[in-house]
Structure 1
Amino acid sequence: MELSLHRLRMLRELHRRGTVTAAAAALHYTASAVSQQLAQLERDVGAKLFERLGRRVQLTELGTLLTEHAEEILGSVERATHALEEAQEARTVRLTAGVWASVASGLLPTALTALAGEHPGIEVRTRELAPEDTAEAVRDGSLDLSFVIDYSDAPTPWDAGLERAVVAVERLHAAVPRGAVPSGSAALDDLAEHPWILAGAKSHFGRAMRTACRRHGFAPKINHEVEEQSTAMAMVGAGLGITLVSDLGLRLLRPPGIDVVTLTTPLLRTVSIAYRRTAFRRPALHLVIDAVRASAAELGLGTEPALP
């Protein structure tokens, strides 16, 4: 019997997520392709591994047994890969990173250019995901590393199987229509009467900003709920309300008609790189982290919360 690592990964994802559709989405395949590969795995084994229960798939006793061994096998392969990279001093390594817009445009161009110049054998590929989805993609093995955010008012629940390295600490600022706050600075509660433009409450950013406002004694009047920072900024420029934006977010294209207001009650967010604990000894991973930290330092972003 020959067991395909590729099919074992699909089996592991099916066990974790419960449906072929969810497993396929995590692995970036079609549900049809995953179904075909799992059917082939059953033929390889010569036994029934799955039972359908409505839309969900339940593993048989043999399927559960194989899944347990799949975890060990895939973990051993990962450790062997890391050991080889370490022995080769990370000369030829490919890493896939989860990103979102502001880090992709604000930190990565400088970091990856410097990395390519000093370590041309390290190739970093990126995949844009919602910030709240990147850590899970690292945990399930579809990414090698990802950028994650912790807001001072809404820390991210952390997975014990992951480590994180802080690469930047940003301040949040108010973006307001030109002339709306003549002083150029304000406490957060001074902005309570303005109409707001924020991401939805299910997003990490939207939840964190609502929490911050409540902590300062008010519930924001949200006239426009949009997910993209660039859309929110365009609406601010049109005079439709105010929003909050980070240091890196300010490096995105800023429409005319916007003033950036310093918050006298500082709100911070910490940007980290998350990776699996089993990857701690990968030299290439730490070279990427160092390059991103250097890029952040060039922008004046440290790795410790700034004092108010």
Structure 2
Amino acid sequence: MDLSIPRLRMLRELHRRGTITAAATALHYTASAVSQQLAQLERDVGTRLFERRGRRVQLTDLGVLLAEHAEEILTSVERATQALEEAGESVAAKITAGVWASVASGLLPGALTSLARSHPGVVVRTRELAPEATAAAVRDGALDLSFVIDYSNYPMTWDRGLERAVIAVERLYAAVPAGAVPAASVTLAELAEHPWILSPARSHFGHAVRLACQSAGFTPRIDHEVEEQATAMAMVAAGLGVTLVTDLGLALRPPGVDVVALGEALTRTVSLAYRTNTARRAALMLVVDAVRTAAAEKGLGADTALPAPTTAEPDPAPVPDPAPSPDPVAAPAGRLGLR
């Protein structure tokens, strides 16, 4: 019997999440690709692992048994990988990191260039995700580590199975059309009459800014909801409204946008999250050190970081789950497709 590690990982996610659609989302594959690979796993073991329940599939008793062993197997593989890295004369590893736009453009180029010079055996591959989804992807094994954020007025709850290393502390500023605010600083209340350009309330950034505005005594009139700071500032440059921007986001500022200090102190802490059982993995710590150095070189050192949350429950991602869809396990094995 030949058990494929990727297929076992898919089986584990199906057991954890209950549907192929949810498992595929967690692993960043298409549902059809996961379905095909699970069907191949069933053929590999020569017994039924799934049974149909209407338009859904459910693990059989043997499927549950194999899924429970898959958890142990995958943990052992991770430990073996760490042991081999530690035993080598030089560190060699492939690390998959979750990123989003401002950290990918503002921190990673310098960090990865420096890392490649000092430790060429450490190869870092990145995957762009919404900040709200990154911690869960690390917890579930889809990523080795990922950037996560806490806002000074909206700290995240934390998972006991994860640790984090603080990388940077960013300030937030008002981004306004050129000439709209002639003063050197502005309070949020003074921006209350302007139209706003913000990310949706389900995002950490969008929620934190809405909370700050409410604390200042108003609910922002949001004319445009966009996901990225670069998009928001392009709309600010066109005179369509105001927004807030972080230190790393300033690198994305187009002409026609003034950046004005906020009267209120609003900051966010950027950290790298990784699983507790990988905390001794040398390659991970090399990546952490490289990114932390890149942040310090930009004046965003971690010495003024926010205190870590004291709660220890998993951070609920505010992004809604995709609509449920049929979960047939397809017969022919196919090529894995990335989302």
TM range, normalised to the smaller chain?
A: over 0.9
* Residues 90 and 284 in structure 1, CA contact (< 8 A), matched pair in contact too: no
Q: 1:90 to 1:23 in 2, by over 3 A?
A: farther
Q: Distance in 2 between matches of 1:27 and 1:111?
A: 26
Highest RCO, 1 vs 2 (Cα 8 Å, sep ≥ 6): 2
Structure 1: gaps spanning 5 or more residues: none
Q: Distance in 2 between matches of 1:2 and 1:59?
A: 20
Q: Aligned AA for 1:259?
A: D
Shift of 1:90: 5.0
What fraction of aligned residue pairs are identical, expressed as a percent? Answer: 74
What are the Cα deviations for residues 225-251 of structure 1, in whole angstroms up to 9, with x where unaligned? 111211110111111110000000001
Partner of 2:51: 51
Q: Distance in 1 between matches of 2:74 and 2:144?
A: 14
Q: Distance in 1 between matches of 2:139 and 2:219?
A: 35
Q: Aligned AA for 1:139?
A: R
Q: 1:177 to 1:33 in 2, by over 3 A?
A: closer
Partner of 1:138: 138
The alignment partner of 1:159 has SS state of: coil
The alignment partner of 1:110 has SS state of: helix
Q: Aligned AA for 1:76?
A: S
Question: Structure 1 stretch 43-52 or stretch 242-251: which is displaced more?
Answer: 43-52
Question: Structure 1 stretch 258-267 or stretch 56-65: which is displaced more?
Answer: 56-65
Partner of 2:257: 258
Partner of 2:301: 302
Question: Structure 1 stretch 291-300 or stretch 156-165: which is displaced more?
Answer: 156-165
Q: Distance in 2 between matches of 1:65 and 1:184?
A: 64
Counterparts of 1:15-94 in structure 2, within 5 Å, are 15-88=15-88, 90-94=90-94
**Does 1:102 pair with 2:102?**
yes
Partner of 2:214: 214
Q: Aligned AA for 1:278?
A: N
Q: 1:305 to 1:52 in 2, by over 3 A?
A: farther
Partner of 1:246: 246
The alignment partner of 1:174 has SS state of: strand
Q: Aligned AA for 1:56?
A: R
Q: 1:55 to 1:135 in 2, by over 3 A?
A: farther
Q: Distance in 1 between matches of 2:162 and 2:14?
A: 21
The alignment partner of 2:304 has SS state of: coil
Counterparts of 1:62-211 in structure 2, within 5 Å, are 62-88=62-88, 90-211=90-211
* Residues 175 and 260 in structure 2, CA contact (< 8 A), matched pair in contact too: yes
Shift of 1:132: 0.8
Alpha-carbon RMSD across the aligned residues, in angstroms, is 1.7
* Residues 138 and 273 in structure 2, CA contact (< 8 A), matched pair in contact too: yes
The alignment partner of 2:264 has SS state of: coil
**Does 1:283 pair with 2:258?**
no
Shift of 1:306: 7.1
Q: Distance in 1 between matches of 2:239 and 2:141?
A: 44
The alignment partner of 1:269 has SS state of: strand
Partner of 1:13: 13
What are the Cα deviations for residues 181-207 of structure 1, in whole angstroms up to 9, with x where unaligned? 111201222221211111111112111
Q: Distance in 2 between matches of 1:280 and 1:303?
A: 19
Q: Normalising by structure 1, report the TM-score.
A: 0.94
Q: Normalising by structure 2, report the TM-score.
A: 0.86
Q: 1:174 to 1:281 in 2, by over 3 A?
A: same
Q: 1:23 to 1:121 in 2, by over 3 A?
A: same
Structure 2: gaps spanning 5 or more residues: 307-339
Q: Distance in 1 between matches of 2:54 and 2:174?
A: 49
Q: Distance in 1 between matches of 2:123 and 2:153?
A: 35
